[in-house]
Amino acid sequence: MNATTAPELPQGLPWLNAPSGSLLEQRGRIVALAFVNAASAWCGQRLNELATLQARHLGRLQTLVVNVPRFDSERDPQAALKRLRRHGIGFPIAHDANWAAWQAFGIEAWPTVLLIDGEGIIRHRLVGVDNGAELDRSVSALCETLARPIDDDLRSPRESHPEPRLALRFPTGVAATAERLFVADSGHHRILECTHSGRVLRQFGLAAADLIDGDHTHTAFRNPHGLVAVRESLYVADTGNHALRRIHLATGAVDTLCGNGRAGEPVEGVVGQPRGVALNQPLALAASNNQIHIAMGGDNRIWSYDLATRELSARAGSGQLEVRDGSGPMAAFAQPAALAAVHQTLYVCDALGSAIRSLHLRTGVVQTLIGQGPWVFGAEDGPRESARLQHPQGIAVSTDAPQMWIADSGNGSLRTLRLGGGELTSVALPRPLHGPTGLALSEGTVWIAETDAHAVLRYDIASGELSHVPIDE
- What pLDDT is recorded for position 1? 57
Question: 212 and 100 share a domain?
Answer: no
What does the radius of gyration of the chain's CA atoms come to, in whole angstroms? 22
Per-residue pLDDT at 382: 97
C-alpha span between 351 and 333 (Å, rounded): 9
> HEC profile for 296-320?
ECCCCEEEEEECCCCEEEEEECCCC
- pLDDT 10s digits, 318-368: 999 999 999 999 999 999 999 999 989 999 999 999 999 999 999 999 999
Domain count, the chain: 2
Do 315 and 459 lie in one domain? The reply is: yes
Model confidence band, residue 421 (pLDDT cutoffs 50, 70, 90): confident
Helices (H), 7-156: 41-56, 77-86, 100-104, 132-143
- Give the separation between CA 7 and CA 121, rounded to whole angstroms: 9
Per-residue pLDDT, 402: 86
Whole-number Å distance between alpha carbons of 149 and 145: 12
Q: Is residue 166 a part of any domain in this protein?
A: no
Taken in order 254, 255, 258, 264, the sign of the CA dihedral is positive
Quick one: pLDDT at residue 153?
A: 60
Could you tell me if 133 and 220 lie in one domain? no
Residue 201, pLDDT score: 96
**129 belongs to a structural domain:** yes
Shared domain for 121 and 190, answered yes or no, is: no
For residue 162, being part of any structural domain is answered with no
Q: Is 159 contained in some domain?
A: no
Which of 124, 154, 184 is the last residue before a domain boundary? Answer: 154
What is the pLDDT, as a whole number, of residue 154? 57
Residue 58 structural domain: 4-154
93-116: b (≥16 Cβ within 10 Å) or e:
bbbbeeebbbeebebeebbbbbbb
Q: Are 45 and 298 in contact (CB under 8 A)?
A: yes
The average pLDDT across 149-174 equals 81
Within a domain: 192: yes
Same domain, 63 and 193: no
HSE-up of 191 (CA within 13 Å, CB side)? 35
pLDDT of amino acid 332: 98
Q: Say which DSSP state 348 is in.
A: E
Q: Output the pLDDT for position 20.
A: 84
Tell me the mean pLDDT in the region 417-432.
94
Shared domain for 345 and 274, answered yes or no, is yes
- Residue 349 forms part of a structural domain: yes
CA distances from 451 to 57, 239, 455 (A): 32, 16, 6
Q: What is the pTM of this model?
A: 0.95
Average pLDDT, the chain: 94
- Cα 237 to chain centroid, rounded: 11
The CATH number for 104's domain is 3.40.30.10
Does one domain contain both 252 and 132? no
Within this chain, do residues 66 and 209 fall inside the same structural domain, yes or no? no
Q: Report the pLDDT averaged over residues 215-227.
A: 94
In angstroms, what CA-CA distances link 285 with 346, 407, 428?
Answer: 10, 16, 28
Is the CA virtual torsion 409, 410, 414, 416 positive or negative?
Answer: negative
Tell which of 94, 119, 154 closes a domain.
154
Specify whether 303 is located in the same domain as 411: yes
Query: Which pLDDT score, from 0 to 100, does residue 151 have?
Result: 56
- 370 & 418 share domain: yes
Same domain, 325 and 267: yes
Residue pLDDT, tens place only, 456-468: 999 999 999 999 9
The pLDDT tens digits of the residues spanning 257-290 come to: 999 999 999 999 999 999 999 999 999 999 999 9
Residue 348 contacts residue 396 (beta carbons within 8 Å): no
Instruction: Please identify, among 104, 120, 154, the residue that sits at the C-terminal boundary of a domain.
Output: 154
Tell me what pLDDT residue 156 has.
61
Residue 101: DSSP 8-state? H
- CB distance 279 to 244 below 8 Å: yes
- What is the average per-residue pLDDT within 155-175? 87
The C-alpha atoms of residue 274 and residue 301 are separated, in whole angstroms, by 20
Residue 161 belongs to a domain? no
Q: How much of the chain exceeds pLDDT 90, in percent?
A: 89
Cα separation, 391 vs 410, whole angstroms: 5
96-153 pLDDT per residue, tens? 999 999 999 999 999 999 999 999 999 999 999 988 999 999 999 999 999 887 555 6
CB 420 within 8 A of CB 433: no
Which of 147-161, 309-323, 391-405, 408-422 bottoms out in mean pLDDT, i.e. has the lowest?
A: 147-161
> Count of alpha carbons within 13 Å of 101, Cβ hemisphere only?
28
Residue 164 falls inside a structural domain: no
Task: Indicate if 133 and 255 belong to the same structural domain.
Answer: no
What's the CATH number where 260 sits? Answer: 2.120.10.30
